[in-house]
Amino acid sequence: MIPVKYLKRNSGYEINGLWYPRVTSICKIIAKPGIEKWLANQGSFYAMQKKRKKITGWGTLVHEVVEKILLGRMPQIDSDICPSIDAFLEWMKKHKIDVFGIEKRVTSKKHSYSGTLDVLGEIDGKVGILDLKTSSSIWDDHFIQTAAYLEAYNEKFSKKAETYWILRIDQYQECSICGAKKREKSGEPVIKEGKKRCNHKWKKVKGVCELKEASNIKRDLDTFLTAKKLWELSNRSWLSKVRNYPNKLKYQTS
């Protein structure tokens, strides 16, 4: 059995003597479209882990560079992420952006969870929370996660944030014959769409930067809180041993 101490550290934060589960850990309970197929296609568990680590590393690098740029610095840019960063810089030129903070820890005492938001700021006159993603598209769970940050942020601060956005930064190569898209974030190429039998001819790498704003904040938060209940239920055996979890009594059934 995995020690409770390890599970606590892995899925939450200790804040002023209390333990709060992390937003990203809770959101893992939500099924990701396509992930099972992807996992099944990776050969072995080891190969999958290795690839996933590389993709995560690529995303982390983009995150770091983008956050530095948002803080007004111009860091060294690795050639691997250049098209993505160029697309982001182009996007920045077209919008009025004021950054108030990055990597900010927020905690909801009301709902007992904690998390770290990417960017707090004002975009084109609206104050909100920006979450950076480097995935090949924007999924519903990205909004659910960010809704949780908004709720926690607004619980504590009097100057409220009114919205949230997902900023997706990505890059790919398109086949000029069949339109397939190739991404090489993990070292090995991942090809999607297009035709299988095509003798692909790849165009040069294209960067993408797209912003999507929340469309239904209440629904996203409700979904998060439901996911949290489900997460508590499926982790109840060890959660019941976490003495400093403030939500302890609420999820325990008789």
Comparing CB distances to Zn ion, the nearer of 156 and 203 is 203
In the complex, the smallest distance separating the C-beta of residue 221 from Zn ion, rounded to whole angstroms, is 42
Closest to Zn ion by CB, 89 vs 178, is: 178
Compute the least distance from the CB of residue 202 to Zn ion, in Å: 8
What is the C-alpha to C-alpha distance for residues 51 and 45, in angstroms, rounded to an integer? Answer: 10
Identify residues 170-199 at the interface with Zn ion (CB under 5 A): 175, 177-178, 180, 194, 198
- Are the C-beta atoms of 29 and 254 separated by less than 8 Å? no
- Nearest CB to Zn ion, comparing residues 22 and 200: 200
Distance between CA atoms of 53 and 155, rounded to whole angstroms?
34
Q: At what angle do helices 140-156 and 217-234 cross, to 10 degrees?
A: 100
103/188 with CB nearer Zn ion: 188
β-strand pairing of 163-174 with 126-133: parallel
CB 120 within 8 A of CB 100: yes
Among 200, 206, 212, 219, binds Zn ion (CB under 5 A): 200
With CB under 5 A, what is the number of residues at the site for Zn ion?
Answer: 7
List residues binding Zn ion (CB under 5 A). 175, 177-178, 180, 194, 198, 200
